[in-house]
Structure 1
Amino acid sequence: MTRKRIAIWLGITLIGMGILIARLAQLQLIETKSFSKHDINLLEESAARRMQEIVIDNGRGNFMDRSGKPLSYETVPVLILFPFLEKTDWPAEKVAEAIGISESELRHTIGKSDKPVVLGGKDPYVLTEKQMEKVNKLEIPGVISMKRKYTPSPLYAGQLLGLTSSNAQVLKEKYKEKEFPAGTLVGISGLQKSFDEFLLGEGKSRLVYHVDGRGGPLFGIDVKYSEPANPFYPVNIVTTIDSRFQRLAEQQADKHGINKGGVVLLDIETNNILAMVSRPKVNRQSPFADQGSQNMMLKQQIPGSVFKTVVAAAALDKGQLEGRLFDCSKKINGSPDKKYDHGTLDFNKSFARSCNRTFADLAKELQKEDPRTLEEYAKKLSLTGTVGWEGGLFHTENFRQLPDEDKGRVFLSEQAKEDPNYAGLSGIGQHEVRVTPVSVANMMAVIARGGDKQMVRAVTSIQYKNGSKMAGFQSKKLDGGTISPLTAEKLQFLLRQVVTDELGTGQWFKDLPMTVAGKSGTAETGVYKGKKQLHNKWFAGYFPYENPRYALVAVNLGVSEDEGGVNLLFSDLVKGIGKIEKKE
C-alpha cells in the first residue's frame, strides 16, 4: 500500500510539475506578446513594472493649418519630477524659486507618488520658457523641464479633424497581422480616420527611469530620453484650414447660441475649406454620449428654401419665365396664405421674397416634362452625391478626405419622383430632399465661379517630419454635368436680388463692408418640442459679389420658428472676415 501511495503522489507531483512547466512556457515562450483573450503583451507589461516613464509625444502624426501652424496640438513648457527624488537629498528650494512657488508646495506635489509628476501645461502652474531654462541650468537628476505636447484647449475644427481611440481590437481588424505598441491610437472619425495609415506612430518620445522592486534606482539616477529613430516620422497633414477664420467662426457660433448646426467657409478660387464648425461640441471625455462626435456640416439636413436655387436653375434653362406672373398670395395647395401674402410677383421677385407657391408650381411643371429634372439640376449644382476630395493615393484607388460625408438626395423612390404633389414639396426643399451644408457651400462656389464644379478639399499635402512632401492633393473637377456660364450669371443676379430687393429675405446684409449674394431657408423638420414644430434655419451665400472670394453657409438646426435665426451670425462672420483681411 505504501508503494502504491508513493506512486500516486509521485504521479500527481509529475502532473502538477508538467502543468506548471506548460504554464511557464505559455507565459515566457508562446504567448509573450498576446496573452489571454485580452491580448496582453507580457514583455511590455514586465518592462513597464521596472520603469517609471513620462510620455512627451505619443508619436502620432499631426495636423497643421494652411500656413503650417499646429491645429491638433500645442507644445507647452512643463516641469517633470521623478519619484526617486523623495529618496535623495535634492535642492528643492532652488527649483521652487526658479518656478515661483514655495518649497513646501513643491515637495507636497511630489508626495508619495510612484509615477513622474508634471507641473505646468495647465492651471494653476503655467511655466514660461525662461523658467524652463532656469530649472535645466540647475542640472538636478530627476528634475527636468521641457516642452510637452498637449491637445489644445479649445480644440478648433474638432469634428473635421476627428477622434482617436486606443482600441487594440480596432487596430487588429484594420491592420490584420501588423504589430503595434500597447496604447497605439487609431483614427475613428474625420481626418484622423481617413489619414490614419499615415498618422500611425513609429513609437513614443518619452523620459524613462529604471527602478528595482522597491522603486529604487536600478541603473543609477540618470533619466534617459527615448524617441523613435526614424527621421521622417511622425508626418504632418497640412490642412486647408485658416486658423484665423476658424477661430472667428468658432467664437461667433458660440456667441450666437448655435447648439446644433454650424458654419462652412470655402475659398472660391481653390475650393478649399477655410473653416468648418459643427455643434454640439465634442465631449472628449465621452465623445459618443451625444451628437458631438458627428460633423453636422457633413450630414444630411432638410434645406427648405435654399433648394429653390436648384429649381430656379432648371426653370431658367427650360422655362418661359419672361413676363410671367405668379400668385404669391396663396399656399402651395391653393389656400390663402395669410402669413406670407406677397400678392402677384414675377419670377425675380418670387426668388428674392422666397415665394413657396412659385417654386412649387415650377417644380410640378418641370416634373411633368421630365421627372428626372430636379435630380439632374441638383447634381449639376453639387447637392447630390458627395463633394469631398476623392481619388487615388498610393495603393488606395478611392481615397476620401471626408469619410463621414453623407450623400445628398432629392427623392427616395421612383414613385415619389413621378408624383406632382411630392414634386411641389421638393421644389421648396421639403419632403425627401436632404443636403449637407458643405454641399450647399459648394453650390454657392459653383455659381460664383460661373459653373466650374470642383471637389472640396480639406487637405493639400502630407509632409514628412523634415518638411519634404510625401503626397499632394491637386484640385479636381467634380463628376457629372454642371450649369452653363449664362445660367450661373442669371443665378448670381437672383442671389444678389435676395439682398438688394426692398422685401428680399437677405436685407440684413445690405450694408456690410463686403457685398453679399445668397439665399435664405427655413425648413420644417416634422419634429415638435411641446406644441412648437422645430425648424432648420439657413443662409448660404458668397462675397464679395463683384469679385467672389468666399462661399459661406450658416445653419441652425432644430430651433423654433420664432427664434434661432442665422442672419446675425452670417453678418458677423462677413464683418470679421473683412477685419482679418485688413490686418494682412
Structure 2
Amino acid sequence: MLKKKRLISLAVVQMLIMVTLLSRLVYIQLVGTESFSKHEINLLEAAVKQRTQVFTIDDGRGKFYDRFEKPLGHQEIPTLILFPFLSKMNWPIKTVAGIIGVSEESLINALKNAKEPFAFQLDGKPISLSQWQMDQINKLKIPGVFAVKQNFYLNNMPAQQLIGGLTKDPQIKRKRYPDREFSMNTVFGDRGLQYQFDEFLLSDGDTRLVFHVDGTGGPLFGLDVKFHSPANPMYPVKVITTIDLDLQKQAEKLVDQHGIDKGGLVLLDIETSEIRALVSRPNVNQKDPNKGEGAVNMMFRRSTPGSVFKTVVAAAAIETGIIERNKLYNCNLTVDGKEDKNRRLGMLDFEKSFAQSCNRTFGELAKELAHKDPGLLEKYAELLNITGTNGWNNTLYHQNFKQLYQEDPGQVWLKKAYSKDQKLVAHTAIGQQDVQASPLAIANMMATIARGGQRKMVKAVSRVEFANGTTEAKFYDSLLGDEQISKLTSIKLQELLKKVVEDEEGTGRALQNLPYQVAGKSGTAQTNKEKGLLNRWFAGYFPYNKPKYALVVVRLDATEDQGGVTGLYADMVKEIYKQDMKE
C-alpha cells in the first residue's frame, strides 16, 4: 500500500514538472517572444541574430547639429567594414590593403579574434576612407568587405549636459511609450535635449548590413548581403540647435584652462536669446552618466547670485523714481549699518555705488522700496527674468512643449512675510538671504537690458528637419510675458553696467581695453560661511554700442584662494572677437 502511494506521488511530481515545462515552453514560444524575462529580450530578434551577422551603420535615431549644421555628439566616418568569416576564406586581401594603404598583416591580425562584423581600425580609431577608396573597394564585390559611411557617437561630446544622454532602460520604454513596440536595441533620451526631443528623435528603423551565415559562422553563398534601411525616407530627423560649435569648443577649453571645477558659462545671442555656447562643470561621469554633479546642468540650476542682483534693485529704484540726485551714501558701512573693516569705499552716489558694488547703498534703496510696496523687488525680478523659467515653452502641435531640461525657477523670497522685514530686505538687496537665480536666467536678464527691455524665451533648438531637408518643426522667437521695464530704465541700466567696467574703481575694471567694450556686473555670494565657500560671478554683454552677446561666467562653491572669473570672461570675449573677424 505504501509502495503504491509512493508511485502515485512520484507520478504526480513528474506530471507537475511536465506541466511546468510545457507552460514555460508555451510562454516562450507564444507569449513572451518579444519581451522575455525582466530584461525584456526579444526572442524573435535573438533567434534571427543567431543565423545572421549584422553590422549597424546607423541606429536610426535623429541626430543633433549646430546652427551651421555641423554634427554635435556624433561623427560620420567613411570606413571599412569586415566580417569575421573572412579569416576562413581566400579573398584578395593584398588588393584591399593596397587600396586603403595598410599592410596585409594588419588586416589579418584584425580578423584573428573577431566574432562580429567590425570597422577596421588603426591606432584605436576607425580609418577614414576617401570617396575613391570606397568606390574601389565596393567595386570588388567581396563577400564580407564593405566600404560605408558609419555614424559614431562621441564619448566626450560638446555641451554634454545640454545635449543629454541615452539609455536602453526597458522601464523608460514602458513608462513613456506603453502602447508602442520597439527593437531591443532602441535607445531613448534620458537627460537634456535628448529627453525633451525624444519623440522627434526615436528611430524608425536602423540602417545595417545583414549577412546570412551557416552553423559555423561561414557565409551562405548565393545569398547576397542585405542592406536594410528605414522604410520611411523622412527619417532620421536632424535637430538643428542654436549652438555655435567653434565657440562651444573654445568655451570648454577656456573653462578648463581657468580651473572651473564647478560652474561654467552661458553665451546668448542678444537679438534672439538663443544659446550659442554652454559649458557646465563638473564633467559628465562617462562610466555612470547619471551619477554625481556632472549629471546636472549647472547653467540651469539656481544658486545665490550675490551683487549681480543689485541690477534688479537698480531697475526698481530707477523706475519708481526713488533715486535722489546728488545724494551720497556712506559706503564705509556694511549693509547692516556697522563699520565695514574690509571695504571702506567712502561717500558714493548711486552710480558710483553700483560701479563699486556698495552694499550699504542698495540695502537702503531696497528698504525704501519695501516701505513703498513689499512686492516691488519680486516684481522687477520677474521683469528681468530672475524668477520663473526662461527656456522656450510654447504650443507645438496643439500641445505644450518645453525645450530645456530641468531648468530651475528663480526666487526672491522663501516666505512672503520676509519682504516686510527690514533686515532681511537689506540682505536680499545684495543677492543673499533667499535670492536664487540660474546663470541662464542672469544671462537672459543681461540680454533683456541690452535689447531695451524686451523679454524673450531662451532657445537651444531652432528647428527640426526631416531627412529630406523639409522642416518638421520650427521654433520662433517668443516673448516672456507682456510686461517689461521701460526703454528709459533699460538705457539707464546700460549706462550703470558700462560704468562697472569703465570706472577706475569699478569691480569690472579688469575688463577694460578688450577688443569689444563690455558692460556688466560682478557678484560674490557667500554660500557656506563655515567652509568659506563663495559663488563668483560676472554677467554682462558686448559690444556696448551694438550689443550682440550676453555672457555669464560663474565659479560655484569656490574657496577664497581660487580667485575670480573676470580673467575667463576676458579670454572668452577675445575668442569671440577673433571668430567674428573671420566671418
TM-score (norm 2): 0.95
Is residue 70 of structure 2 the alignment partner of residue 69 of structure 1? yes
**Counterpart for residue 567 of structure 1:** 566
Q: Offset at 1:38?
A: 3.0
**Counterpart for residue 409 of structure 2:** 407
Is residue 379 of structure 2 the alignment partner of residue 376 of structure 1? yes
- What are the within-5 Å matches in structure 2 for residues 8-407 of structure 1? 17-120=18-121, 123=124, 126-129=127-130, 130-152=132-154, 154-218=156-220, 220=222, 222-318=224-320, 319-396=322-399, 398-407=400-409
Q: Offset at 1:415?
A: 2.7
Look up the SS of the partner of 1:538 in the other structure. strand
**Cα distance in 2 for residues equivalent to 1:82 and 1:405:** 46
Look up the SS of the partner of 1:438 in the other structure. helix
**Cα distance in 2 for residues equivalent to 1:393 and 1:264:** 26
**Cα distance in 1 for residues equivalent to 2:338 and 2:575:** 43
Look up the SS of the partner of 1:296 in the other structure. coil
**Cα distance in 1 for residues equivalent to 2:59 and 2:34:** 21
Look up the SS of the partner of 2:120 in the other structure. strand
**Cα distance in 2 for residues equivalent to 1:51 and 1:434:** 57
**Cα distance in 1 for residues equivalent to 2:172 and 2:447:** 38
**Cα distance in 1 for residues equivalent to 2:221 and 2:205:** 23
**Counterpart for residue 575 of structure 2:** 576
* 8 Å Cα contact 2:387-2:437 kept in structure 1: yes
**Cα distance in 1 for residues equivalent to 2:237 and 2:258:** 37
Number of residue-to-residue matches in the alignment: 580
**Cα distance in 2 for residues equivalent to 1:5 and 1:268:** 88
- Amino acid across the alignment from 1:565: G
**Cα distance in 2 for residues equivalent to 1:433 and 1:340:** 23
**Counterpart for residue 481 of structure 2:** 479
Look up the SS of the partner of 2:562 in the other structure. coil
* 8 Å Cα contact 2:119-2:126 kept in structure 1: no
* 8 Å Cα contact 2:39-2:170 kept in structure 1: no
Q: Deviations over 1:160-217 (max 9, x none)?
A: 1111111111111011121111021111111111111111101111111222332233
**Cα distance in 1 for residues equivalent to 2:212 and 2:578:** 55
- The worse-fitting range, judged by mean Cα deviation, of 144-153 and 39-48 is 144-153
Look up the SS of the partner of 1:277 in the other structure. strand
* 8 Å Cα contact 1:121-1:127 kept in structure 2: no
* 8 Å Cα contact 1:52-1:115 kept in structure 2: yes
Q: Offset at 1:153?
A: 5.9
**Cα distance in 2 for residues equivalent to 1:67 and 1:185:** 26
**Counterpart for residue 516 of structure 1:** 518
Identity of aligned residues (%): 49
**Cα distance in 1 for residues equivalent to 2:468 and 2:425:** 56
* 8 Å Cα contact 1:77-1:120 kept in structure 2: no
CA RMSD, Structure 1 to Structure 2 (Å): 2.2
Q: Offset at 1:154?
A: 4.1
151 and 34 in structure 1: CA distance in 2 versus 1, 3 angstrom threshold? closer
Listed as ranges, the gaps of 5+ residues in structure 1 are none
Look up the SS of the partner of 1:382 in the other structure. coil
Is residue 541 of structure 2 the alignment partner of residue 542 of structure 1? yes
**Cα distance in 2 for residues equivalent to 1:58 and 1:127:** 20
361 and 27 in structure 1: CA distance in 2 versus 1, 3 angstrom threshold? same
* 8 Å Cα contact 2:323-2:350 kept in structure 1: no
* 8 Å Cα contact 1:328-1:355 kept in structure 2: yes
Q: Offset at 1:13?
A: 6.4
229 and 496 in structure 1: CA distance in 2 versus 1, 3 angstrom threshold? same
Q: Offset at 1:100?
A: 3.1
- Amino acid across the alignment from 1:401: Q
Is residue 419 of structure 2 the alignment partner of residue 420 of structure 1? no
Q: Offset at 1:83?
A: 1.0
- Amino acid across the alignment from 1:112: N
**Cα distance in 2 for residues equivalent to 1:122 and 1:476:** 49
* 8 Å Cα contact 1:380-1:480 kept in structure 2: no
Listed as ranges, the gaps of 5+ residues in structure 2 are none
Q: Deviations over 1:204-255 (max 9, x none)?
A: 1111122233223346463322111110111111111122221221221122
14 and 289 in structure 1: CA distance in 2 versus 1, 3 angstrom threshold? closer
